[in-house]
Amino acid sequence: MTTQQKIVIDLLKRFPNSPLLTLAKKAYKENPIAFNSLEDARTTVRSWAGNKPNKQSTGKSVGTNRPKTFNSAIFVMPQSHANTYEPYIIKQSKILVLSDLHFPYQNNEAIVSAINYGKQKGVNCILLNGDILDFANISRHEPDWRHRNINEEFEAVRAFLFELRKHFPNAKIVFKQGNHDERWEKFLYLKAPEIFDMSEFHLDVLLNFGELKIDMVKDKLPIKIGKLTVLHGHELQGSGGVNPARATFLKTISNTLIGHCHRSSQHTEPTMGGDVIVTTSQGCLCELAPMYARINKWNLGFSYVEHNIKTGEYNLENLKIINGKVY
């Protein structure tokens, strides 16, 4: 095979939809020594594109599937890296929603109260709605010098998840990443990119999700429970304020439940079509006066959702824990 032929074959494979004259011009401009003239390059291109027989080509061509003429009606786009944005669907009928446990700063008494409430209701799904881990020591904010052992944090969460599965052996368990949970992946990407893609260091592997049969929802994907959308809250970028539920309404204009803000609130608005939109923020299950926010408006709480699988209708209880009692 001659140098001319190698050049032309390479161009035909790299640019299968380009006009032959354009390829000939490119071949001649980049390889003036290999071709005597533009017409010489064009003849070789046409031969190997299958548009003109060439005895030297032994009847073979690399452009047999090319259009005979350039079709200007075909708009060719470069490869896209856009991803689909599909929600995670929960199909169970009784869902316990726990948010913002922030291990190792969890409130054990409050968590047990929420778990016991779920048992009484006979829940068949538990949604861990973000910020289950705190990861204070790998945060971009000032680290907490009191707790430097991240392995202990992993061990605590593994123990909690094991206990959760033991008490709810048949329930669906879903773990949605919150902004604190995402710190682990960001830490690996920035500090240890060499192992970022190694599955052994993925959060779901380190927490034994496979063994415990726990689904993980990441990439800020929403969760749907019938007509209710569940977000951690950091997806909205500014869902706090005086009334987190109202801020959520202004962002979503949809029936939505969030955590993230550590505060129980609710906002209701009717539509002109006769529908009623209700947005809700639930309380947290962690310490209420951390070092970085000694004075705040947080409260302990969780949610319980009963879901009509056939109609998508739901009933949401936004529950508060006060002095160890559920209200």
Residue 264: partners with Cβ closer than 8 Å, 6 or more residues away: 281, 282, 283, 299, 301, 318, 320
User: Do 59 and 183 fall into the same domain?
Assistant: no
HSE-CB at 127 with a 13 A cutoff on CA atoms is 30
User: Do 62 and 205 fall into the same domain?
Assistant: no
The number of domains in the chain is: 2
Model pTM score: 0.77
Q: What is the pLDDT of residue 159?
A: 98
User: Do 282 and 219 fall into the same domain?
Assistant: yes
CA distances to 113, 122, 203, 212, 213 from 166, in Å: 17, 15, 21, 9, 12
User: Do 75 and 149 fall into the same domain?
Assistant: no
Per-residue DSSP letter, 149: -
Sequential pLDDT tens for the chain (327 residues): 789 888 988 888 888 878 888 888 989 999 989 898 999 999 988 888 876 544 444 445 555 555 555 556 778 888 888 888 899 999 999 999 999 999 999 999 999 999 999 999 999 999 999 999 999 888 877 666 666 689 999 999 999 999 999 999 999 999 999 999 999 999 998 888 888 889 999 999 999 999 999 999 999 999 999 999 999 999 998 767 889 999 999 999 999 999 999 999 999 999 999 999 999 999 999 999 988 889 999 999 999 999 999 999 999 999 999 999 999
**41, 61, 82: which is the final residue of a domain?**
82
User: Do 108 and 223 fall into the same domain?
Assistant: yes
**64, 82, 100: which is the final residue of a domain?**
82
**30, 62, 82: which is the final residue of a domain?**
82
User: Do 133 and 212 fall into the same domain?
Assistant: yes
User: Do 189 and 250 fall into the same domain?
Assistant: yes
Q: What is the pLDDT of residue 65?
A: 53
Per-residue DSSP letter, 195: G
186 by Cβ neighbours in 10 Å (0-12 / 13-18 / 19+) ranks as: middle
Instruction: State the residue range of the domain holding 165.
Output: 88-326
User: Do 48 and 140 fall into the same domain?
Assistant: no
User: Do 104 and 35 fall into the same domain?
Assistant: no
User: Do 260 and 311 fall into the same domain?
Assistant: yes
Helix-, strand-, coil-residue percentages of the chain, each rounded to 5: 35, 20, 45
Query: What length is written for the chain?
Result: 327
Which helix (H) or strand (E) element contains residue 198? none
Q: What is the pLDDT of residue 62?
A: 58
52 by Cβ neighbours in 10 Å (0-12 / 13-18 / 19+) ranks as: middle
The pair of structure tokens assigned to 212 is 């415990």
CATH code at position 202: 3.60.21.50
How far is 68 from 50, CA to CA, in rounded Å? 9
CA distances to 109, 137, 307, 316, 324 from 113, in Å: 6, 29, 22, 18, 7
Alpha helix ranges (H) inside 240-305: 244-252
User: Do 189 and 265 fall into the same domain?
Assistant: yes
User: Do 175 and 111 fall into the same domain?
Assistant: yes
Amino acid at 263: R
